[in-house]
Amino acid sequence: MRQIEAGEDIPNAVIVGVERDADGKVFAVVRWPAIRGEAAGEDRYHSVPKALEVAESVKSERGFGEIVVSLQTAELWRDEWGSLELGASEVTSEEAFDMAWDIEANRDA
């Protein structure tokens, strides 16, 4: 899984937001956008492992490309929940175009 910025939307991903409430208790919110005519959804869980399990089910049942994690603060993540890549692991389409353009420009030079 990879970490995204809080509030960032990833169109083909199930997002698991891990937060702490006013009482200091950690909880998770699983959100997913509408896809292929199916409605968007959101559910809250008091257990992060349960939220990750549900996110995996939503991903496979609805055909999303990945599960991403948004953390209220970095120290909320626990190693036992799995590995978490920091930052974006994919390039945007604009970055891909720019890289391809540079490769072609250098090839022709």
Strand 66-71 with 13-20, pairing: parallel
pLDDT of residue 92: 58
Q: Check residues 109 and 59 and name the one with the higher pLDDT.
A: 59
Say if residue 100's pLDDT is above 80: no
Instruction: Please state the domain count of the chain.
Output: 1
Given strand 41-45, what is the order of strands in its sheet? 2-4, 66-71, 13-20, 26-32, 41-45
**Tell me, what amino acid is at 2?**
R
pTM given for the model: 0.76
Helix runs in the chain, H state only: 48-62, 93-108
pLDDT of residue 95: 58
Residue range 2-58, pLDDT digits in tens: 999 988 888 899 999 999 999 999 999 999 999 988 899 999 999 999 999 999 999
What is the domain extent for residue 36? 2-108
